[in-house]
Amino acid sequence: MAADTIIEAKNLSKYFGKFKAVEDLSFAINHGDVYGFLGQNGAGKSTTMRMLLGLIFPDEGSVYIKGEKFGNRSRHLLKHVGAVIERPDLYKYLSGWDNLRMFAQLSGVPITTNRLHEVLEIVGLKGREQDKVKGYSQGMKQRLGIAIAMVHNPDLLILDEPTNGLDPQGIFEMRVLIQRLSKDFGKTILISSHLLYEIEQIATRMIIINRGKKIIEGDVTTLLSPDDTNVDVRIGAVDVATSLKASQWASALTNAVDGKLQFRMNPSHIPALNKWLVALGADVYEIKASHSLEAYFLSLTNEDNAKA
C-alpha cells in the first residue's frame, strides 16, 4: 500500500443469496485523486461504496483506511471519510443550519460554530442557512448533504451520483463545487455517476466495473489516449477495400460496410487519410472523430458483456 493511499479495497466480494453483486474487486484511491467510479446500473457501485463505509460488510476481502484494516472494531477510521450515498437524508421541516448543526453533533468530533459557517460558505449556502430545507431546490439539498459530509473535515469524500436529479445549472454548479473541493481544499474525492461527460471533465483517475468486476482502472489521461480516437468516414460508391488492406491504414481500420469506414487512430492522421482517399478517387462526404469517456465506457462494457 502506497504511503499516500487514503482508502483501499482488496479482493472485495459480496453476495445477496446466490447473486454475486461484487466479485474480487480491488482498487486504491490516493491522496488528491478525483476518482471516477463508473458502471452501468446494477454493476455493483453502490454495494461497493456501502462496504467502504461499513454500512454492509464484505463476504470476502478487506477495506483499508489510511493503511489500517477497517471493521467493526475500527469505526474510528470513519473520521477520515465523509459521504453522501444516494440523496442526502435531511429533515425537511428544519432549517439548513439546524440540519447541519444536528449532524455535526452526531459526528462525535468537536465542531465549532465557525466551522459550520465555513462549510456553508464553501458549498454556496451562505445566506440561505435559516431557510427550511423543504424550500430548497434539489441542488441546494445536495450541497447541504456535502456540507454535512465534510463538516468534520475528512480526508476523503464519497459522493454517490451527486448530480442525480439536477437540472443543467445544478449539474454545472456541482461540477464547479467538486473541482473547488479538490483544488482549493485538498479533498480526495470518490464520485460515482452515470453522467460520463461530467466524470470526464473532473476525474483524474477512474475505475470501470461491470457485473461486480473491475474491467479497467487508471489515469483518465492515459486511458483516454488520443491514439484510440474513433474516426468515422463516409465516402461515395467506390470500392477501396483492396487498396485499404494493402495500405498504411489497414491496421487502423476497424470496420468497412457500404461506403462507411471506421478507424481507430490519432486524429492528427485524419488529413493524410483524407488525401489518400481522394487520391483513390473517393468522394469523401464526412469525417467525424469521436473520443469520449462514454464511447470508451460502452466499448469496454459491451465487450465484457459479449464474453459472458
Tell me what pLDDT residue 2 has.
57
Could you tell me the three cell numbers for 213?
Answer: 468486476
CA 278 vs. chain centroid, Å, equals: 42
pLDDT of the residue at 29: 96
Cα–Cα distance measured from residue 149 to residue 87, given in angstroms and rounded to the nearest whole number = 12
| Residue 27 contacts residue 207 (beta carbons within 8 Å) | yes
Q: Are 156 and 7 in contact (CB under 8 A)?
A: yes
Strand-pair category, 5-16 with 213-219? unpaired
Residue labelled with grid coordinates 463508473: 38
CA torsion 63→67→73→79, rounded to 10°? Answer: -90
**Beta-carbon contacts of residue 51 (< 8 Å; ≥ 6 apart):** 9, 12, 14, 22, 57, 58, 63
Quote the pLDDT of residue 1: 57
Which residues in the chain land under pLDDT 70?
1-3, 291-295, 299, 303, 305-308
What are 134's three cell numbers?
A: 423543504
Grid cell of 205 as nine digits: 483517475
Instruction: Read off the pLDDT of residues 16-69 as tens digits, 9 standing for 90 and up.
Output: 999 999 999 999 999 999 999 988 888 899 999 999 999 999 999 999 999 999
**Structure confidence at residue 267 (pLDDT):** 84
- In whole angstroms, what is the distance from residue 109 CA to residue 116 CA? 13
